[in-house]
Amino acid sequence: MNKIKYKARLRNKGQVTVPQEIRNLLGAEEGDELLFYTDEAGRVVISRAQIIDPEQAWFWSDRWQRMEREAQADLETGRTIEYTNITEALAALDEILAHDDAED
């Protein structure tokens, strides 16, 4: 298998210009952070760091992602209830709460 190779020059202070074709493949733009690591064969691999906005970090927590998967499974299997309006939905929630309180 022929691999396309790109050449870059190592500059002062260890700086390298990443070829445009590689930046395109990575989806990297100016200001993005890149990760460098070695694979099992000792090759250096470059990837674009996926930085999560601190205000959005909750969405990527293990707990939230588990709940997202559960919700998607409920949607896919039809374990959902549709309400025609907010009043109907709130009444259903009140009924659940009343039932839970009765069991306590």
Name the region of 19 (left: φ>0; alpha: ψ -120 to 50; beta: rest): beta
pLDDT of the residue at 16: 92
Query: CA–CA separation, 64 vs 62, rounded Å?
Result: 6
Question: What does each of the 104 residues of the chain score in pLDDT, given as a tens digit?
Answer: 567 888 999 999 999 999 999 999 999 989 889 999 999 999 999 999 887 888 888 998 999 999 999 999 999 999 999 999 999 999 999 999 998 888 87
pLDDT of the residue at 92: 95
Q: What's the pTM?
A: 0.47
Ordered by where they begin, the domains of the chain are 12-48 (2.10.260.10), 54-103 (no CATH)
